Amino acid sequence: MRILILGAGKMGSFFTDVLSFDHECAVYEIDQMRMRFLYHTRRFSQLGEIDEFKPELVINAVSLKYTLDVFRQVIPHLSADCIISDIASVKTGLKEFYEGAGMRYVSTHPMFGPTFANLGELSSEHAIVISEGNREGRDFFLQLYRRIGVHVHECSFGEHDEAMAYSLSVPFVSTFVFSAVMKRQDAPGTTFKRHLSIAKGVLSEDDTLLREILFNPRTEAHVKEICTELEALIKIIDSRDESAFAAYLTKIRKNIL
């Protein structure tokens, strides 16, 4: 299959490495320096080069901020039967875009993003394939993720957004709060250093991604739940109630064990 990958960032390079020995691959990236370490693949920096390549599948791996804009630039250079796809972790606006584009599409979310995952060892990682869209495209990504050892789940756009509202907003908001009250330590403990490392990773993410996670309509309820738990914990601290504290620890340990 002829596969065009949009963007030569960490995830674009990852998909190039995974696919280029079994498929005819090309990467479109306007910053040619980002393609200098790509091997066994064609490198495009001009839209006109896509016409000649005639891709059968396009994987949009640019940052969330530019996903829709790059799709709009590239689609006029694709054949009508080409399958377009994205790997965005936030799907806001994508379903509507695909339905209006009039092309076959597939949407996936590799949940082993480059911030924390070891891209060389993915056996404990997960990926989501959106159940809406083209069957051939879905089968391609289901087989790909399984081949590299990733646990795969299928769900709708709506189910994905609901799951991400929880699994991304809760840790991200908790990290924001930690960062907001953080004071630098001359002799930081192990736990502090681990939280700090996570915070640095989260805050290195694209601002557009952080905004879309925070502004997801489903996020507010989860943030309010965090506030409710903080209020309960403050009451326990104020009262120095040991039995209430023991009950609280029992409750939260059940959540994680």
Please state the pTM of the whole predicted model.
Answer: 0.81
Instruction: Flag residues of the chain having pLDDT under 70.
Output: 113-120
pLDDT on residue 117:
52
DSSP string, 130-173: ESSS-HHHHHHHHHHHHHTT-EEEEE-HHHHHHHHHHHTHHHHH
pLDDT tens, position by position, 181-194: 988 888 789 999 99
- Mean pLDDT taken over the chain: 91
State the residue for tokens 């896509």: 50
CA dihedral sign, ordered 144, 146, 148, 151: positive
